[in-house]
Structure 1
Amino acid sequence: MGHMAGGVGTPWWLKSGLGFLEAVCFTSGCNLCCPQCQNWQYAYIDCGELLTPEEAAERMTETKRECGVERIAISGGECTLNRPWLISFIKLLKEKNPIARIHVDTNGSILTEDYIDELVDAGMTDIGIDLKALRLSTFMEMTGLMDAGLAAKYLQTAWEAAKYLHDRHPQVFLGIGIPFNEDLISIAEVQEMAERIVEIDPWIQVSLLDYRPEFRRMDLLRPSHWEMLQIHYILRDCGLQSVICQTERGKIGPGGRLLG
């Protein structure tokens, strides 16, 4: 489908425009069990049509043409679960759309260094990684994982993936997403996450995502626009230079201005 909002790995300066930003597809399945999953229809309901990489690339190329864009996004669920399929899909997309930007949105939990290298070699040009927490206890509650060892591995892998992408593949646009709802993660922990990202690079684009009531957490209250604005300034005060906050009134972009 055409996507008007973009994702974590979509540069902020594109989000202020009108119309479609990208042609996007969503893969089924996820290795996390987030009770408040915002895309649970794709993550946990396997009701779509099975496509080969060739079939998927053909459909995405046609969708891109219909939307009149030169950006292709792959999201989920968790699109990195089937590594051979994803690598083949991206290679085919690049062959069919040589000038298009190819954007992957992921939780980063299985993105080892060799997997990242393979994605870049295949043609990935942009990536958004959701870093859901800094502390293991928060990560486990947010993701629904009960195996502490597995959760610790996923959490460390995602953070290491962000740093590796920044250090080894500077040509790839990197965006980092931080899901926020005070029932899930404290403002203090979000601030600590921001400080750690600043240590990697203060210019990395960071998207703060206001988590609404969804899936098995309908008890949540969506953070208000003013609450998200406050956290926007907290992250800026930490030294982050490119912060986007998703709010009920639209996106707050760099400089605190409303985008779109």
Structure 2
Amino acid sequence: MLMADLFLKYVKTEKCVNCGFCGSVVRCPGSGYCIGCGSCYVACPYMAREPVEDHEPRRKIKIIVDGTVYEVAEKTTVMRALESLGYRFTRFPEENAIFSPCLTGGCYSCPVIVNGEVKPACHTEVKDGDVISTNVEGVEPLRIVEGFSPHQVGGVGTPYWVKGKAGYIEVAAFAAGCNLRCPTCQNYFVTYNSALPAMTPNEAAWKLSLMRKRYGVDRMAISGGEATLNHDWIVKFFKKLRRLNPDENARFHLDTNATVLTRERIDDLIMAGVTDIGPDLKAFRLETFQLITGIEDKELALKYLKTSWDAVKYIADNYYPEMVFMGIGIPYNRFFYPTLEELLKMGEKIASIDPDVQVCVLDYRPEFRRREIVQPTPKEMLRVKEALNGVGLRKVIVQTIAGHFGP
């Protein structure tokens, strides 16, 4: 029997420059044909893929989901198949729904068990005879993690007095998958990676701990992508990291866009061992947030924006500075902020939370899909610092091509 539901496929356009990104970094989950996952579409640096209606007839195939036999369309994702059966997927964590924030197969936040193996529902082809379980309780979580390396500067959540030291100051890992679609993504090779094998929290914690010993540092960090998407994974990662590094000098650092960092998730992470956290605040106004993040859905964008600001205030009110060090990141480029008006509103709001909290302004460089923007000069960044100091922030650092300045 054939199915006539509307499906999409993603095809190359004349914009393609054969950069190879959609083959080397993005792993196509289809078996020689497009199953409409959309990974190549959102990941292409040159926007050289476009969606078109796929009118190819699709057979019905039989699968078993949570013990019940169903018929679904072939040549699509497990996620779409489950949606057709009434399962609900969301891009913000909710009760009675499967959280599927990245939709590119890196974060494994939408895990299902397919024929005995943990797979991301958003990035796995459904096949005839599949036995699928949506109950993953007690199953070891997975996530793609890469870029284990030493760093001389650190991240947003690195205290300024540590940044000034010579040599390496921390080791870091980077988690694939992100819920945002920033056209200026500064780390898109990590964000959209679905080609590497996934790791357990224990594997990643062991690897980062060994790197700490190798480079003789006390700080261990994870960033992304967005490290907090797969909550089960990140909590177990920090718990294992703390067990492997029980000494009082060890510091456990998380950098995050904070857009899904609910109060409950923050509590879990602090209890798991996080000692340093660097939430990014992308914007003050919803329109600017959408411009920077590429999130077109206003309701979702507003939820992300409010959650990030609430996370900063919640951490400041309940954990900072006694239990956790917090450094706040703000992206800056004239493309986002033609004037400093909105940036100053952000500064005023942060100062009302805590004028002594560390704020690091990041000079966003031309990258990914916005290669035409101009990276701010050191002089421009120093003007930003002066302006933020002027609204009451006492510890402002600016990142520049000439190094970090401040506080």
Q: TM-score range by the shorter chain?
A: over 0.9
How many Å separate the matches in 2 of 1:14 and 1:115? 27
Q: Which of 133, 150, 154 is equivalent to 1:2?
A: 150
Aligned-partner SS, 2:347: helix
How many Å separate the matches in 2 of 1:86 and 1:55? 12
Q: Which of 319, 327, 330 is equivalent to 1:175?
A: 327
Equivalence for 2:188 = 40
Q: Which of 228, 253, 259 is equivalent to 2:406?
A: 253
Aligned-partner SS, 1:20: coil
Q: Which of 224, 233, 240 is equivalent to 1:92?
A: 240
Q: Deviations over 1:41-87 (max 9, x none)?
A: 11112233311111111111101111101110010000001000000
Equivalence for 1:158 = 308
Equivalence for 1:134 = 284
Q: Deviations over 1:201-228 (max 9, x none)?
A: 0001000000010000000000011000
More off after superposition, 154-163 vs 48-57? 48-57
* Higher RCO (CA < 8 A, seq sep 6+): 1
Runs of 4+ in 1 over 6 A off after TM superposition: none
Provide the TM-score with structure 2 as the length reference.
Answer: 0.62
Q: CA RMSD in A?
A: 0.8
Equivalence for 1:209 = 362
How many Å separate the matches in 1 of 2:214 and 2:199? 20
Q: Offset of 1:188 from its aligned partner?
A: 1.1
Provide the TM-score with structure 1 as the length reference.
Answer: 0.96
% identical equivalent positions: 49
Equivalence for 1:147 = 297
How many Å separate the matches in 2 of 1:222 and 1:125? 32
Equivalence for 1:25 = 173
Q: Offset of 1:5 from its aligned partner?
A: 1.2
Equivalence for 1:11 = 159
How many Å separate the matches in 1 of 2:197 and 2:169? 25
More off after superposition, 7-16 vs 186-195? 186-195
Structure having the larger proportion of residues in helix = 1
Aligned-partner SS, 2:167: coil
How many Å separate the matches in 1 of 2:197 and 2:342? 40
How many Å separate the matches in 1 of 2:177 and 2:162? 29
Aligned-partner SS, 2:346: helix
How many Å separate the matches in 2 of 1:220 and 1:87? 37
Equivalence for 1:184 = 336
How many Å separate the matches in 2 of 1:203 and 1:96? 33
Structure 2, unpaired ranges of 5+ = 1-148
Equivalence for 2:374 = 221
> Is residue 2:216 matched to residue 1:64?
no
Equivalence for 1:258 = none
How many Å separate the matches in 1 of 2:287 and 2:208? 39
What is the aligned residue count?
254
> Is residue 2:274 matched to residue 1:124?
yes
Structure having the larger proportion of residues in strand = 2
Q: Deviations over 1:110-163 (max 9, x none)?
A: 011110000000000000011000000000010000000000000000000000
> Is residue 2:287 matched to residue 1:103?
no
Aligned-partner SS, 2:207: helix
> Is residue 2:379 matched to residue 1:231?
no
How many Å separate the matches in 2 of 1:47 and 1:68? 31
> Is residue 2:347 matched to residue 1:194?
yes
How many Å separate the matches in 2 of 1:231 and 1:148? 28
How many Å separate the matches in 2 of 1:190 and 1:47? 37
Change (3 A) 1:175 1:36: same
Q: Offset of 1:18 from its aligned partner?
A: 1.1
Q: Which residue identity does 2:261 align to in structure 1?
A: L
Larger Rg: 2
Q: Which residue identity does 2:358 align to in structure 1?
A: Q
